[in-house]
Amino acid sequence: MKKILEKLRAFFSALGTKFRRHSQPPLSASDEPATQPRDPAAQPQKPKKIDLFSVVSWAATLLLAAGMLGGAVYYKNAQSAAAAPAAAPTASPAKQTQTTAALPQLEAPIAASGNGVVSIGRKLQLKTHIPQRERYEAVAYRVTRGDAMLSIAEKFNLKSETLLYVNAQLEDNPHNLKPGMELTIPPVDGLYYTWKEGDTFESVAEKFDTTADAIINFPGNRVDLTNPKIEPGETVMIPGGSRALKDWLIPTSGGSSTGGGSANICGGGPVAGGFGWPANSHNISGNGYGPGHLAIDIQANEGEPVYAAGSGVVTMAQGGWNYGYGNVIQIDHGNGYVTVYAHLSVINVGVCTPVGQGAVIGAAGNTGNSFGAHLHFEVRLNGTNVNPYTVVQ
Domain with residue 154: its CATH number is: 3.10.350.10
Give yes or no: residues 192 and 296 share one domain: no
Q: For residue 169, which of 141, 135, 207 has the smallest C-alpha distance?
A: 141
User: What is the number of other CB atoms lying within 10 angstroms of the CB of residue 263?
Assistant: 16
Q: Are residues 218 and 276 in the same domain?
A: no
DSSP conformation letters of 321-346 = -GGGT-EEEEEE-SBSEEEEEEEEEE
Domain match, 265 and 382 both: yes
Select from 142, 175, 146 the least CA-distant residue to 160.
Answer: 175
Which pTM does this prediction carry? Answer: 0.55
**Closest listed residue to residue 249, CA positions, set 160, 323, 345, 338:** 323
CA pair distance 286, 200, nearest whole angstrom: 39
pLDDT value for 5: 66
Radius of gyration of the chain, Cα coordinates, nearest whole angstrom: 50
State whether 214 and 270 are in the same domain. no
Question: In terms of Cα–Cα distance, which of 207, 209, 234 is closest to 223?
Answer: 234
Chain centroid offset of residue 360 CA: 44
Count CB atoms within 10 A of the CB of residue 28. Answer: 6
Q: How far apart are CA 171 and CA 368, in angstroms?
A: 16
Q: How far is CA 204 from CA 99, 137, 335, 366, in A?
A: 74, 20, 43, 41
DSSP strands (E only) in 242-368: 296-299, 305-307, 312-318, 327-332, 337-347, 354-355, 360-364
Q: Is residue 222 part of a domain?
A: yes
- Residues 217, 285, single domain; the answer is no
Residue 390: strand, helix, or coil: helix
Q: Are residues 149 and 195 in the same domain?
A: yes
325 and 193, same structural domain?
no
Residue 124 lies in a domain: no
Question: Can you give the pLDDT at residue 290?
Answer: 78
Query: How many domains is the chain partitioned into structurally?
Result: 2
**Do 208 and 308 belong to one domain?**
no
- The answer to whether position 63 is within a domain reads no
257 and 393, same domain (yes or no):
yes
Same domain for 343 and 228, yes or no, is no
End-of-domain residue from the set 187, 207, 239: 239
Which of 191, 209, 239 lies at the terminal end of a domain, its last residue? 239
Low-confidence ranges of the chain (pLDDT < 70): 1-2, 5, 8, 12, 15-51, 79-132, 248-263
Is the same domain home to 147 and 282? no
Range of the domain at 147: 139-239
Does 214 fall in a domain? yes
Mark which of 221, 239, 257 sits at the end of a domain.
239
> What is the DSSP annotation of 121-188?
----------PPPP--S-EEEE--TT--HHHHHHHTT--HHHHHHH-GGGTT-GGG--TT-EEEE-SS
- Give residue 354's identity as a one-letter amino acid code: P
**Which residues, including other chains, have CB under 8 Å from residue 206's CB and lie 6 or more apart?**
none
Residue 97's pLDDT is what? 47
- CATH code where residue 356 lies: 2.70.70.10
49 in any annotated domain: no
Asked if the structure places residue 203 within a domain, the reply is: yes
- Nearest to residue 193, comparing CAs of 224, 214, 170? 214
My answer on whether 156 and 229 are in the same domain is yes
The reported pLDDT for the residue numbered 188 is 96
What pLDDT shows up at residue 168? 93
